[in-house]
Structure 1
Amino acid sequence: MEQRQTLAPSNAFIAASWLALFIGVIAYNIGLWNATMQLNEKGYYFTVLILGLFSAISVQKAVRDQLEGVPVTNLYYGIAWFTTVLSIVLLTVGLWNAEMAKSEKGFYAMSFVLSLFAAIAVQKNTRDLKASKPEGLF
């Protein structure tokens, strides 16, 4: 197996990734808190966000593991992709059928996508930082 040298991400990229994650998740949740929808609807949208975040991180980890030669079962890989796509579909269907302004729907969609992207970037940064350190420092 070939050893690749992994460069540590810059502090600016790490900070931007964490900031994007916090902005996306906090904005999404502030939107839910202030929304006039029923509590069960708020729970639905919150659960879709959590499912999406966990699934996106799982996809990033599985893809990275495969690239590095770490065994990943096809079942896990498939479930990670399925739940990521499912979270996006569930959000899309929920927003499509929601009785809210188009601008509010767009707000939820954009903060959801920002959160997913940022979660993947944070996971990548965490892994790159660990891989860039010599053995024994972590």
Structure 2
Amino acid sequence: MKTQAPTKSYTLASIAALIIGAGAYGIGLFNTDMALNEKGYYLCIILYGLFSMVSLQKTIRDKAEGIATSKIYYSISWASAGISIALLAIGLFNAELLLSEKGFYAMAYVLSIFAAVTVQKNVRDNQAFASQEITTAEPLQDEFIAE
């Protein structure tokens, strides 16, 4: 399977989306009037969500590339991704926040986890492209100029 490297603009856009999403979420948490334990809950949820989505993307990619992946880890990755989203949804549903604030946290969260998956995909695509170039590179040959 021939892999094409992602463009620099796509790579930078995905990194920017991750920084913007996670940064906005963090700034929102810092500036809210929640109790400290609530802020900690929402901070842990985004960290758990980012990790679980990167792990899920890695597992799916490993499986697609024929790299051995245990069924239990594959299942745990899917469950963990779903649980992290469910925990955010349950937390926001029960939070005493304005609807606009709940929407803000939900959108920043979704942007962050999507961008984390995209950044991980770009990393894997770049690695695959680099290893593909190494294995298909032709040996250098001396060229002589006939006079």
TM-score bracket for the superposition, by shorter chain length: over 0.9
Q: Which residue is equivalent to 2:142?
A: none
Instruction: For 1:101-120, list aligned pairs within 5 A.
Output: 101-120=98-117
Deviations 1:51-101 (A, max 9, x none): 000000011001100010001001111111111100100000000000010
1:135 aligns with 2:134: yes
2:54 to 57, 79, 82: 57
Q: Which residue is equivalent to 1:26?
A: 23
Q: Which residue is equivalent to 1:15?
A: 12
1:124 to 118, 121, 144: 121
Deviations 1:4-42 (A, max 9, x none): 111000011001000000000000000000010000000
SS of the aligned residue for 1:116 comes to helix
Look up the equivalent residue of 2:81 and give its one-letter code. T
CA RMSD for the aligned pairs?
A: 0.9
SS of the aligned residue for 2:134 comes to coil
Aligned equivalents of 1:55, 1:72: Cα separation in 2: 16
Deviations 1:88-128 (A, max 9, x none): 00000000000010000000000000000000000000000
Aligned equivalents of 1:46, 1:84: Cα separation in 2: 16
| Unpaired segments ≥5 residues, structure 1 | none
| Unpaired segments ≥5 residues, structure 2 | 136-147
- Whichever of the two has the greater Rg, that structure is 2
Aligned equivalents of 1:131, 1:34: Cα separation in 2: 41
TM-score (norm 2): 0.89
Aligned equivalents of 1:77, 1:115: Cα separation in 2: 22
TM-score (norm 1): 0.94
Query: How many Å apart are 1:135 and its aligned residue?
Result: 3.4
Q: Which residue is equivalent to 2:143?
A: none
1:70 aligns with 2:51: no
Displaced runs of 4 or more, over 3 A: none
